[in-house]
Amino acid sequence: MRSPASRGVRFSVIVPVFNEQGRLPAVLESIRRQRYPSELVEVLVADGGSTDQTVAIANAFGARVFDNPMRRAEPGVGALLAHARGDVAIIMAADNALVGETTLERLALPFADPQIVAAFPALVSTARDGATTRYFNAFTDPFNHFVYGRAASPASFHRAYRIKRRTSDYVVYDFTGGPMPLVALAQGFAIRLPYQKPPGTEEDDVAPVELLIAQGRDIAFVPSAGVEHHTVDGLSDALRKFGPRIRARLTDADQPVWGRLRAGDRARRIRAHLWPFYSVSVIVPAIGAIYGLARDRRPEWIFHPILSAAFGFEFWRQATIVAFERIRKLRHAD
């Protein structure tokens, strides 16, 4: 499987953390069990001031630990890229883990082609993952699934883009020939070094990939390389996690998602404004789920109406709270 040109690829695995003693061991163990030569793998951890055993766990594994005064994951990634000594950086969130023993070996393969600047793996669900996580791994969250459509997931990229070239190990899609895909750095995205996140994308996990595509750079999808993405523990956990994000998007026009939508096509912006109504309509998502299930034979479609409605009602709950807060401030101002 491994080509001569890929055998010497040195990886810098980048993991931003904050109080991750519960999840970090699984991430680090998944790196340790890889059959890839250990001398060609370094692990860099950006710690946002953890008060638990996170740093001790990282040190015990042999990771290089750096302080992340910004605390947030995206700036931590940017800081670690400057310290990476490998040929290729792989960016991992603490809720990720490399699948099996050959993911690094498979991610190295595209970089034998000098035209390829980055590669990304498939997101894999395991027996421990419930319906919500399985849906996220197949399609992303309900909002982005609706807004991005076929461009939301590698599961439907073949319907959105022409294939520039394909090998037995990876696929290079012509992302410039369609809408921008939703590909995030934090889910095992691998990129040639040296690389720094462009100015203005310090807080964004998606815009750096969009800029690579806009520059016409080749990015490979490696379906045989897998990353477990244990993003949530169930629907209630997902709503607790995304509720504050929804409120932030309602109150802050500078949120990265709005910047990407402003820079994107008009149809996508319209879909973003339609989603709050689509999501709670129930019938329309149900029709979409029936069509998608018949077309793709993916059981995750069954959960589409349920998750869409749950996230839609959470949106309207947060919108109501924000509206009352604004009314109260206006009254106090008078």
CATH of domain 4-229: 3.90.550.10
Distance (Å, whole) CA 180 – CA 142: 18
User: In the chain, count of helices (H) and strands (E)?
Assistant: 13, 10
In the block, which residue shows the tokens 């040109």? 5
pLDDT digit string (tens) for the chain, length 334 residues? 544 445 689 999 999 999 999 999 999 999 999 999 999 999 999 999 999 999 999 999 999 999 999 899 999 999 999 999 999 999 999 999 999 999 999 999 999 999 999 999 999 999 999 999 999 999 999 999 999 999 999 999 999 999 999 999 999 999 999 999 999 999 999 999 999 999 989 999 999 999 999 999 999 999 999 999 998 999 999 999 999 999 999 999 889 888 888 888 899 999 999 999 999 999 999 999 999 999 999 999 999 999 999 999 999 999 999 999 999 988 887 6
> Would you state the pLDDT for residue 263?
83
Distance (Å, whole) CA 291 – CA 277: 20
> Would you state the pLDDT for residue 4?
45
Token readout for 178 is 């369609």
Q: Is there a contact between 268 and 261 (Cβ–Cβ < 8 Å)?
A: yes
Domain borders along the chain are 4-229, 235-333
> Would you state the pLDDT for residue 7?
61
Query: What pTM does this model have?
Result: 0.93
H or E element: which one contains 306? helix 304-333
C-alpha of 214 from chain center: 19
